[in-house]
Structure 1
C-alpha cells in the first residue's frame, strides 16, 4: 500500500474514531438557538471541536508516544493524575450519554419503555462485547460510519436548498463564545489525546520501518482528512438548525431536533432510519471507550486481567446509573468537570505542538498551574453562589464568559519565556 493510500486509510479511521454519534445532537441545537448568528457560533464550535483536536493529533505526531507523554514535562505524577481524570470523565459522562442518545433517538420514538431498561440492556451487551473483545462491532462500525455520513450529507444538502420560514433571532449574548464552550461537550480534544496514541500504534504495526519524519507527516495529513470531515458535518448541522429554527418549538430537545431535521428533509423513513443507525453507532462508541479505559488500567496494573474485568464492570455499572438520565441532564452535569479539565487539555496540546525551545519544563509547569488556578472559578460557579465568587471574578478578564484562564495562561507563557531567555543570555556572559 503506497503512502497516499495509507494516509487516507488512517484519515478515515481517525474520522470514525472522532465521529461519536452522540456528538451529532449538539450542533443542530446550537444553530437553532443562534439564528442569524449561526456562522459566529460555528467559528467558536470549530475552534474547540475541530482545530484543537487537530492540534492534539499534531502533538501526537511530534511525540509519537501515548497520552501520558503530553503532561510528562510538568511531571510524571501530574501526567498520571491527568490521564486518570480523563478516563474517569469519559466513563462518567460521554459513555453513558451514548445510551441516553440511543434511548431518545432509537427507542423512545417506537417503544414506551423506561430509559433505565434501555440503559441496563445497553451496558449489559457492552460488557459482553468488551470482555470477549469481539471484532463484530469493529466490522459493523466500518459500514455504519459511511452510511450515517451519507445520510447526514443528504440531510444537509436537501435542507440547504429547501425553502424555509424566516429565522428567529439569536438567544446568545456572545455567539462565538457560546459555540466555543459548546464544543467542549463533543469531548473531541480529549478524543484527540486518547485516540492519537492508538493511531501511533496502528501506524507502527502496519507501516514497518517508516522513519519518524514520514510517520509525523502521515499522522498530520491523516488528521487533516479526519477534521475536514468533521468540519463539514458540524458546520452543515449548525446551519440547518439555524435555517429551520422557526419550524420547531423553542423548548425542543437536542435529540428531537436532529430527528425532526431528518424527517423534514428525508421524510419519516429517513428520520427513523437515522435514529436507529445513530443508536448502533453510539453503541460501538461506548464499547470502544470502555475497552480503551480497561486497557489503560490493565497496563497500569502490570497487564492484570482482573484489573481489565473490574474496570469493565465499574464502567458498565456507572453507565447504567448515569445513562438512564436525559441527554440534556447529562450535558448539564458535565459542565463543571469540563470547565476544569478542558483548559488544561488545550494548554497541554498547544505546548506540545510548539517548538521545543519555547516549551521548556518550567514553561509547562507554570502555564499548567496558572491555567488550573484560573479555571477554578469556572468550576466553582456550579457549586457556590455567584455573589461569593464576584470579588474574584470581577478582576479576571473574560471570567464572565468562562474564559478567565486564557489571558493568565498566555501572560505566564510570555513572562516565563522572557525570563528563560534573559537567564540564558546572562549565562553566556
Structure 2
C-alpha cells in the first residue's frame, strides 16, 4: 500500500471517529444564534470541537499507550480516577444523548410514542450488539459516514444558493467564548483520549514504516480529518446563520437541523437524513458501551462477567437519561464538562509538547492549578444560589467560564522558568 493511500485511510478513520451524528445538531444552532457573528463563532467552536481533539490524536501517536498514560505523570492514583471519570461521563451523557437524538429526529416525527419506549428499545439493542460484538456495526459505520457527509454537503450547498434572508443580529453576549464552551458539548476531546489509541493501533501501516514515519502519517491524516470537520461544521454554522429567520425562536437543536434539511432537501430528504443520523447515533452508543466495558474488563483480570455487568449498567443508565429531551441532556452535561473538560484539554496539550517542557512537576502543577481554577465555574453552575461574582471578577476570563486558562498557562511558564534558572530536575 502506497503512503498516499495510507494517509487517506488514516484520515477517514480519524474523521469517522469525531464525526458523531449527535454533534451535527450543535453547529446549525450555533449559526442560528450567531447571525452576523458566525465567523467568530466558528473560530471558537473549531478550538474545542476540532483542534483539541486532533491534538489528542497527536498525543496518542507520541505516547503509543492507553488513556491511563495521559495522566500517569501526575500520579497513578490520579490517572486511575481520571479514567473512571472519563468513562463514567461517556456512559452517562453522550451515549444516552444518541437515543434522545434518535427519538427526536427519527421516531417522534412519525410515531406518537414515548421517548422512554424508544430509549428502552434502543439500549436493549445496544446491549445485544455490545455483548455479541457484531461486526455489522463497524460495517454500517463505514458506509453511513460518507453518505451522511454527502447529504450534508448538499444541504450546505443548497442553503448557500437559497439564502435570501440575510444575517440576523447575534444572540450571543460573547460569541467567541460561548462557542468555545459549546464545543465542549461535542465530547470530542474525550473521544480523542478514549478511542484515539484504538484508532492508531488499528491503522494498517506498512511493515517497513518507522516510528517517525508513523507520526508524520498521523499528523498529515489529522490535518486532513480536521479540514473535513471544519468544512462540515463551518458550513452548517453558516447555513444556520443564513436561514436563521426561517426557524422558530423556540426551536430545539434537533428541530433546527431538521428544518434546515427540510428547507434544502424537502420532506423526503429530511426523512432519509433522520434515519441515517439515527443509525449513526446507534454505532456511537455501541462504541461507548463496548469501550467502557472493555476498560472495566481489563482491570478485572479480563473477566467476561465484569464486561457483561458493565454493559448492563451502562445500558440502564442510557435508558434513564436517554428518555429525556436532547436540550435537557445538554444542559445537565454543563457542570460535568466545566469540571472535567479543562483537565482533559490540559492533559492533551501537555502530552503533545516536547518532553523537556513537560516534567512530572509541570504535569502535577498545571493540572492542580487547572482543577482549582475550574472550581468557581463548576460551583457557579451547580450552586447558582451561591454568590461568587466577586471571586470570578478577580480571575481573568472567569465570567466566560474559562478562568482556568491563564492560571494554567502561567503555572506552565513558571515551572519551566524555575527549571531553567535553578537547573533542578523539576
Q: Which residue of the partner structure matches residue 320 of structure 1? A: 319
Q: Which residue of the partner structure matches residue 126 of structure 2? A: 126
SS at match of 1:302: coil
Superposed, which structure 2 residues align to 1:220-259 within 5 Å? Answer: 220-259=219-258
2 CA distance for matches of 1:249 and 1:86?
36
Q: Which residue of the partner structure matches residue 371 of structure 1? A: 370
Q: Which residue of the partner structure matches residue 92 of structure 1? A: 92
Offset, 1:68: 1.3
1 CA distance for matches of 2:296 and 2:365?
29
Deviates more, 1:157-166 or 1:280-289: 157-166
SS at match of 1:394: helix
Q: Which residue of the partner structure matches residue 388 of structure 2? A: 389
Kept after mapping to 1: 8 A contact 2:165/2:243: yes
Offset, 1:11: 1.2
Deviates more, 1:358-367 or 1:158-167: 158-167
SS at match of 2:162: coil
When residues 426 and 213 of structure 1 are mapped into structure 2, their CA distance, relative to the original with a 3 A threshold, is closer
Q: Which residue of the partner structure matches residue 399 of structure 1? A: 398
Q: Indicate whether 1:308 and 2:311 are aligned.
A: no
Offset, 1:392: 2.1
Superposed, which structure 2 residues align to 1:172-211 within 5 Å? Answer: 172-203=172-203, 207-208=206-207, 210-211=209-210
Superposed, which structure 2 residues align to 1:27-106 within 5 Å? Answer: 27-106=27-106
Q: Which residue of the partner structure matches residue 290 of structure 2? A: 291
Any unmatched runs of 5+ in structure 2?
none
SS at match of 1:74: coil
Kept after mapping to 1: 8 A contact 2:35/2:241: yes
Offset, 1:206: 5.1
Kept after mapping to 2: 8 A contact 1:44/1:176: yes
Deviates more, 1:325-334 or 1:205-214: 205-214
Cα deviation per residue 1:243-272 (whole Å; 9 max; x = unaligned)? Answer: 000111111111011011001011111111
Kept after mapping to 2: 8 A contact 1:61/1:217: no
Query: How many matched pairs?
Result: 426
Q: Which residue of the partner structure matches residue 145 of structure 1? A: 145
Q: Which residue of the partner structure matches residue 337 of structure 1? A: 336
Kept after mapping to 2: 8 A contact 1:31/1:239: yes
Cα deviation per residue 1:138-168 (whole Å; 9 max; x = unaligned)? Answer: 1111111111000000000111111321332
Q: Which residue of the partner structure matches residue 107 of structure 1? A: 107
Q: Which residue of the partner structure matches residue 158 of structure 1? A: 158
When residues 75 and 114 of structure 1 are mapped into structure 2, their CA distance, relative to the original with a 3 A threshold, is same
TM normalised by structure 1 equals 0.97
Kept after mapping to 1: 8 A contact 2:28/2:239: yes
Kept after mapping to 2: 8 A contact 1:185/1:331: yes
Kept after mapping to 1: 8 A contact 2:163/2:242: no
Kept after mapping to 2: 8 A contact 1:74/1:365: yes
TM normalised by structure 2 equals 0.98
2 CA distance for matches of 1:222 and 1:166?
36
Cα deviation per residue 1:191-225 (whole Å; 9 max; x = unaligned)? Answer: 1111210022213x654353211221122222222
1 CA distance for matches of 2:193 and 2:378?
22
Superposed, which structure 2 residues align to 1:270-289 within 5 Å? Answer: 270-289=269-288
Moved over 2 A (4+): 205-210, 385-388
1 CA distance for matches of 2:424 and 2:62?
28
